[in-house]
Amino acid sequence: MVALSAACLLTAPLVAKADASSPAASSPATAVSVAPASAGTTSSTDSGWWQQVRNEASQTWDSDRYELYLPLHTWHNRRMYTAEKIAEYNENPWGLGFGKYRYDDQGNWHAFYAMAFLDSHNRVEPIAGYGYEKIWHPAEGWRLGAGFTVAATARQDYGYYPLPLILPLVSIEYGHFALQTTYVPGSKGNGNVLFTWARWQF
């Protein structure tokens, strides 16, 4: 992917001073207490960013707009792999995906998605998560996006245990069509893959 603060007001009892000329002067002084302020007077950051995240995710989940994902290419960084390894790896990630998306009031893209494709070893790799991109409009009908995805995947070489991911996203879009890509970082001989897919919005 916040400290919460609460203020409590403590008030001492107030003693009413009776006027000497008043009939009440002969009666004992009466203590008047003021109820303490509610502990619920927390700052507006109580819900803050987390409530905003929940609201955005809820609106995206409730969206009635759908899009199709078609994996196109996985490129292994030639500086991080030997020529022999590159020759062994699959770079045609045949697969398919589906998602629910929306554009918010600022025109930014949000989506829940799931996709499955062939990984570098020709094994099926599923991935599912939430994506967000800030969108710019450089020309009529064209959109450029940059953001991130929070997701989980599973791979055969890791026993298909769930693996959490936070990855960058960039896209170029026109009308209902988009090309979107992410870069999976890593070390020498591991990761360092540029993964690209197409999106078609219904």
Of 38, 76, 104, 176, the active-site residue reads 76
Could you tell me which of 13, 20, 61 has the C-alpha nearest to residue 34? 13
Tell me the C-alpha distance between 182 and 148, whole Å.
Answer: 9
Question: What is the token pair recorded at 154?
Answer: 């599973």
Question: What is the token pair recorded at 105?
Answer: 């009031």
Of 119, 137, 176, 187, the active-site residue reads 119
DSSP3 helix / strand / coil % (the chain, rounded to 5) = 15, 45, 40
Question: What is the token pair recorded at 142?
Answer: 């064209």
Of 44, 63, 120, 137, the active-site residue reads 120
Residue 121 CB contacts under 8 Å (≥ 6 apart), including other chains: 89, 90, 156, 157
Torsion of Cα atoms, 48 then 50 then 53 then 54, to 10°:
-110
Active site residue 43: no
Q: What burial class does residue 160 get, using C-beta atoms within 10 Å of its C-beta: 0-12 exposed, 13-18 middle, 19+ buried?
A: middle
Question: What is the token pair recorded at 166?
Answer: 């936070």
Active site residue 76: yes
Q: Please name the residue that has the structure tokens 């699959």.
A: 90
Which amino acids are annotated catalytic? 76, 119-120
